[in-house]
């Protein structure tokens, strides 16, 4: 699941699918027009749907924002849900390429490393 401000989540997934092709088992959620309560309810519903057949990893666009705060609530109330915040495109590409063949703990370590390595000043 990807959650973000405005159209960030959908734009990131559009980019992932433009590079890797159509992906299954994910949802993009925007906070546009939603208060914290409505955003939390939307995320909880998506977690319920995705957790029926997958481990749930939630990617949040930035630390400290409303999306991040709602993700923190999800982690505190739902077992087995992981959150990655400060998401960039390289992290998502790593995740979708390796999610079927890598355990969630190892995958999240790889995702974090790939995202950090992708940030460069030129």
- Cβ neighbors of 18 (< 8 A, separation 6 or more) are none
What are the tens digits of pLDDT across the range 1-49? 999 999 999 999 999 999 999 999 899 999 999 999 999 999 999 999 8
Which pLDDT score is estimated for 55?
83
Which pLDDT score is estimated for 119?
94
Contact (CB, 8 A) for 37 and 66 = no
Domain extent, residue 56, equals 2-88
Given a cut of 80, is residue 53 above it in pLDDT?
no
Tell me the three state secondary structure of residue 31.
Answer: coil
Mean pLDDT of 112-116: 95
Which pLDDT score is estimated for 58?
96
CA Rg, the chain, in Å? Answer: 14
Distance CA 23, CA 59 (A): 15
* Nearest Cα residue to 12 out of 86, 102, 108, 106: 86
Q: What is the CATH number of the domain that holds 6?
A: 3.40.50.510
Q: In this structure, is residue 71 part of a structural domain?
A: yes
Q: In this structure, is residue 102 part of a structural domain?
A: no
Contact (CB, 8 A) for 40 and 32 = no
Given a cut of 90, is residue 54 above it in pLDDT?
no
Q: In this structure, is residue 98 part of a structural domain?
A: no
Give the DSSP letter string of 35-96.
Answer: -HHHHHHHHHHHHHHHHTTS-EEEEESSTTSHHHHHHHHHHHHSTTEEEEES--HHHHHHHH
Q: In this structure, is residue 14 part of a structural domain?
A: yes
Q: In this structure, is residue 22 part of a structural domain?
A: yes
């Amino acid at each position: 699941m990807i959650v973000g401000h405005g159209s960030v989540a959908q734009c990131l997934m559009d980019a992932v699918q433009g590079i890797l092709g159509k992906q299954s088992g994910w949802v993009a959620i925007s906070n546009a027009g939603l208060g914290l309560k409505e955003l939390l309810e939307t995320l909880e519903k998506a977690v319920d749907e995705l957790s029926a057949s997958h481990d749930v990893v939630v990617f949040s666009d930035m630390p400290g924002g409303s999306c991040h705060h709602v993700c923190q609530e999800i982690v505190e109330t739902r077992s087995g849900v992981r959150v990655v915040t400060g998401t960039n495109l390289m992290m998502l590409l790593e995740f979708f390429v390796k999610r079927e063949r890598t355990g969630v703990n190892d995958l999240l370590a790889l995702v974090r490393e790939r995202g950090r390595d992708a940030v460069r000043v030129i």
